[in-house]
Amino acid sequence: MRYVSGFVALAYTFGCRGPRDPGRDAAARPRTVSAVEADSGLWCRGDTTVRRDNPGQLVREFVARDGAGEFLSTSPFWLSATDCAGEGTDFARVISFYSIDSLGIQGDTARFRVTYHFLGNLVQAQRGFDPRIETIADTFLVVRRPWSWRIVGQHDVPTLLPDAAKAHWQLTPEDRTRLDSAGKASGR
């Protein structure tokens, strides 16, 4: 038992040195959190060298980059703007447009309502675009950390504007037709 605990301590020391490698494609494998990582909370921090003083600007930039398709793969911005966020997906959503409203700032916490006007879902399957027109409001919670404002919560499903979906997702001609039709039906 004494040797096992010594080995675990040694593995912990060498296994937890340095930041996660953002160059690896996390979409290729599911991420599991070890008990050591969960206890330390270090894996949640991402890149702490980037300073952001304005939570509203952070949310606006996050949503714009998401709409452009940046978060379909690992992004340095993603790692510096979010806490404990997931990475990688074989699913995304398409929106015609979005709006952002401040719900207020209290102390070290800011809330923003992001209203998305969805056209449908993107899936990596035979039918790549599945129309589903709806409007959904999502609340972004932004918390001031010692190093910067950070977005917390589950915002890890890429949400693309139509041009980004066409540029970054494998769509058949039929998918493109369905996407264009959904855009016309939504009034945008």
Fold of 56-188: Nuclear Transport Factor 2; Chain: A, (3.10.450)
For residues 59 and 52, is the Cβ–Cβ distance under 8 A? no
Residue 116 has what pLDDT?
A: 97
| pTM confidence score | 0.74
Q: Which residues pair with 100 in a beta bridge?
A: 114
Residue 172 has pLDDT above 50, yes or no: yes
86: number of Cβ within 10 Å: 13
For residues 92 and 160, is the Cβ–Cβ distance under 8 A? yes
For residues 43 and 33, is the Cβ–Cβ distance under 8 A? yes
Tokens standing for 37? 């990582």
Q: Where are the domains positioned within the chain?
A: 56-188
Predicted confidence (pLDDT) per residue in 71-102, tens digit: 888 788 888 888 865 655 678 999 999 999 99
Residue 123 has pLDDT above 50, yes or no: yes
Tokens standing for 125? 């399957």
Tokens standing for 49? 């060298």
46 or 20, greater pLDDT: 46
For residues 154 and 139, is the Cβ–Cβ distance under 8 A? no
Strands, E, within the chain: which ranges?
91-106, 109-123, 129-144, 149-152, 159-160
Angstrom distance (rounded) from CA 138 to CA 115: 6
